[in-house]
Structure 1
């Protein structure tokens, strides 16, 4: 199986993968021989078996860990062992998960990434078994700790061998679950299907000349900061007649992107919000696509977005 380069795995990894690891005071230890259970036989993962003998992972679940390697450790296969078996639902590709990750250079023991440095409460992600973070938690129950090995070159020519420890903390909801907020008069109205998919109805009020952002629900999760990567469900419609031009709901799954990768009005709808929130944004052309046009969006269109903010990966602090 080909894995995507590590820079594509998260905004944390995209910062160069070389974040300092958190030092801890471990008081627990697990080794592959102590594995609570082998990987589920019928589960589709890239792993070929248990990790080599001699690896030891110390530290409480959901806390900083220390990885001890035998002398000359050089894994030659993509392997995984389950050190702690959780009691939650089994994690499947496409699920939304909150987890902790520690990436160690298998040769030197250097901690290359510890997600606790940027996401102390856990890093949110959409599970994809073709990425090493997703593979590490695929097909194990929530509450599990795994340790995985990836040989040199797995992530591209010249990449070192990695040891990855993953704690699967929780499964995330697929729709906003924050406290409901009363709608604001003069903006489009929104109704919801049983699964949470929105229907946007545009009234007769003239389109605003500046971006309007209002909460339909207000969550109590992490704040989305500039440059963070968000996991969202969204629907976009034209203010002129309510025609939907894009929706993650019709595609069948949430999506993720950096707040810097969307039009300014959508960016304003995300930054400063909290995970669990649902946002209604009305975006005039100046904060949208301006005089650009495509098959779905005419030039100089005012846009309406309804966005459920389901998770966030915080961008690393500068320096």
Structure 2
């Protein structure tokens, strides 16, 4: 089983598309993955192949409102990125989670399509990945940096216009839940953690519950996850009957990002209403999981267990503004 984002690459409304992450598998993403470079140890963004034209002028304080001035007839021909401010912090790598701000401008009209400075003044929670444009705009930069990136027409999906994206890397966020520990509920699976935060789940000697049960292991004090929001999480999923792990972001080596409406019902119940920084244990019957059909390594009629660390959220309401 793989939990995948449901965002489309078509551009019907740029703000909605981009806040949905433009994520997808490496086979269907229109943003190239730089991981296949000759020197695998060298950090390289998918956008680092070319410099944005010096005729593109960007002004405004770091983390503040940004003004972008474009020359007449400007049309980027390739994926490009320039670092305007070199920050003093650590280098940003794939799999990191940041607070960052973004200003998106339609290159043909000069109109601002998205300003997270107004929707998320302290910065938008952002998963760094070459497979989505926000991540690619800051991958390999340093915390405190400002970059400007150019996307040619069609780069974000068939028919999409050209865009300019200004990105400020504000601060790095934890990649494990750091909320206040909560006393575990009796009768549920027990969970232990290694030094990195990856969980090991031990099932109780009792039948699986017939209704979904959600319990906090940690309670965070961050933003509340609302229906339809994009969440950034670490998670492990296991079969209740024998404890077999069928999916884990920890094993893949980086967090995942998806909409609360793009996962099975039991997982959705574990996310919505929770706060960033929380760690959630959810036990669900097959009716809230994959039912009679099952999926992949999940057999038919299998009750499931997930442990989920909620690292960040991008609100659906902000995308619609």
TM-score > 0.5 by shorter chain: yes
CA distance in 2, matches of 1:42, 1:190: 35
Q: Which residue of 1 aligns with 2:107?
A: 106
SS in 1 for 2:316: coil
Q: Which residue of 2 aligns with 1:33?
A: none
**Equivalent residues of 2:86, 2:144 under 8 A apart:** yes
**Equivalent residues of 2:47, 2:149 under 8 A apart:** no
Which deviations, in whole Å up to 9, do the C-alpha atoms of 1:21-51 show, x marking residues without a partner? xxxxxxxxxxxxxxxxxxxx97454334432
Q: Which residue of 2 aligns with 1:94?
A: 95
- Structure having the higher Rg: 1
Structure 1 gap ranges (5+): 1-5, 19-40
1:277 aligns with 2:278: yes
Q: Which residue of 1 aligns with 2:65?
A: 64
Which deviations, in whole Å up to 9, do the C-alpha atoms of 1:100-150 show, x marking residues without a partner? 111111222101122345434322232223433222112111111111223
Q: Which residue of 1 aligns with 2:308?
A: 307
CA distance in 2, matches of 1:81, 1:294: 43
CA distance in 2, matches of 1:138, 1:97: 11
Query: What does residue range 152-171 of structure 1 map to in structure 2 within 5 Å?
Result: 152-171=153-172
TM-score, structure 1 as length reference? 0.82
Which deviations, in whole Å up to 9, do the C-alpha atoms of 1:121-180 show, x marking residues without a partner? 322232223433222112111111111223334334543222111011122221111111
Question: CA, structure 1 residues 221+13, in 2 after alignment: closer, same or farther (shift >3 Å)?
Answer: farther
CA distance in 1, matches of 2:66, 2:133: 18
Q: Please report how far the alpha carbon of residue 8 of structure 1 lies from its aligned counterpart in structure 2 after TM superposition.
A: 4.2
- Cα-Cα RMSD: 2.6
1:267 aligns with 2:268: yes
**Equivalent residues of 2:9, 2:157 under 8 A apart:** no
SS in 2 for 1:15: helix
Q: Please report how far the alpha carbon of residue 255 of structure 1 lies from its aligned counterpart in structure 2 after TM superposition.
A: 1.1
**Equivalent residues of 2:14, 2:113 under 8 A apart:** no
CA distance in 2, matches of 1:198, 1:17: 31
Q: Please report how far the alpha carbon of residue 300 of structure 1 lies from its aligned counterpart in structure 2 after TM superposition.
A: 2.0
**Equivalent residues of 1:45, 1:139 under 8 A apart:** no
Aligned length: 291
Q: Which residue of 1 aligns with 2:53?
A: 52
Question: CA, structure 1 residues 172+42, in 2 after alignment: closer, same or farther (shift >3 Å)?
Answer: closer
Q: Please report how far the alpha carbon of residue 185 of structure 1 lies from its aligned counterpart in structure 2 after TM superposition.
A: 1.2
Which deviations, in whole Å up to 9, do the C-alpha atoms of 1:230-286 show, x marking residues without a partner? 111111112222222222222222111111111111000000111111000111122
Question: CA, structure 1 residues 292+7, in 2 after alignment: closer, same or farther (shift >3 Å)?
Answer: closer
Which deviations, in whole Å up to 9, do the C-alpha atoms of 1:60-89 show, x marking residues without a partner? 222221212234433344332222221111
Question: CA, structure 1 residues 117+48, in 2 after alignment: closer, same or farther (shift >3 Å)?
Answer: same
